[in-house]
Amino acid sequence: AVPQVGRELDATRRRDLHSQAIPTTSHAIDSVVARQAAQSVERGQRSADEVGAPQDEVAGASRSHFEDWMINLRGEDQWLAKPRTMDWYTGKPPMPGQCPGVDVDGNLRSLPLPNLDSVTRKATQEYFDNTWTLVETLFAGFKGEEPFYRPPVHGLRHPQIFYYGHTPCLYVNKLRVAGILQAPVNEHFESIFEVGVDEMLWDDMHKNDMVWPMVAEVHEYRKEVYKVISDVIATHPSLEDGTRVTWEH
């Protein structure tokens, strides 16, 4: 177990690193409101009353509904509101013959747990590809950028953008601890996406009050990490075919 003093120091380090406060200036709020109004017009969702109202009244009403987290809405709806194309998937696309676990009807299922008595590179890569694509298939169901950034109403979890970046971050940090990777892929991301909600760290929810990376930035990060992990699987000497995975591994 990590000593309490060490945990508190680590929490302080993360808090300092994440201290990019939400810039709720009038200009920033107006920018978000303007984007939302434009998107609303494009979708045909504005009511006849709103369309006919004076512009300053519409702006005032919109500003009154502004919440701090909305500063993270930065115009990514153009691609996130549409059905995902295959380039959404940073590993294997969920198609038969390409991603392990996809049947002939296109259904994606989890692979059985690997046999740790005899681990091969092929089996490891297939299991990695399957789990990686399962996560991205889940996030492909989010329509627009709002689901990535809106905090849960109970306030006990981070917004979903954290979890989109958490899985690649976890791979990198664990391999660095094991001495397999010598350097971060993205040091900032590997800090902000490192720790979820821990009841032992009283300040860990402060990350809900920050400017998060854009979805496109995390998408690129996932691409980089996928390549790094696949390279480790393909080349690391400890993963020779037939290796038995034990506590020492």
pLDDT tier, 58 (very low <50, low <70, confident <90, very high otherwise): very low
* Residue spans per domain, the chain: 4-20+79-239
Torsion angle, CA of 95/88/114/247, rounded to 10 degrees?
Answer: 170
Q: Tell me what the mean pLDDT of segment 228-232 comes to.
A: 97
Confidence band for 74, pLDDT divided at 50, 70 and 90? very high
Which tokens sit at 231?
């390279």
The reported pLDDT for the residue numbered 21 is 46
pLDDT per position as a tens digit, 62-71: 566 788 889 9
pLDDT tens-digit readout, 204-223: 555 566 899 999 999 999 99
Given this model, what pLDDT does residue 41 score?
A: 53
Residues 6+ apart with CB under 8 A from 134: 101, 108, 110
The Cα-based distances of 122 to 88, 129, 240 in angstroms read: 24, 10, 10
The string of pLDDT tens digits covering residues 138-148 is 999 999 999 99
For the chain, the DSSP string reads ---HHHHHHHHHHHHHHT-------HHHHHHHHHHHHHHHHHHT-S-HHHHHS-HHHHHHHHHHT--GGGGG--S-HHHHTSPPPGGG-SS--S-TTTSTTB-TT--B-PPPPP-TTSB-HHHHHHHHHHHHHHHHHHHHT--SSHHHHPPPTTSSS--HHHHHHHHHHHHHHHHHHTTS--S-S-TTHHHHTT----TT-TTGGGGGGS-PPPHHHHHHHHHHHHHHHHHHHHH-GGG-TTBPP-TT-
Residue 179 has pLDDT above 80, yes or no: yes
pLDDT on residue 48:
44
Confidence of residue 173 (pLDDT cuts 50, 70, 90): very high
What is the model's pTM? Answer: 0.76
Share of the chain above pLDDT 70, in %: 65
Terminal CA-CA length for the chain:
20
Judge whether residue 4 has pLDDT over 50. Answer: no
Q: Which residues contact 205 (CB under 8 A, 6 or more apart)?
A: 155, 158, 197
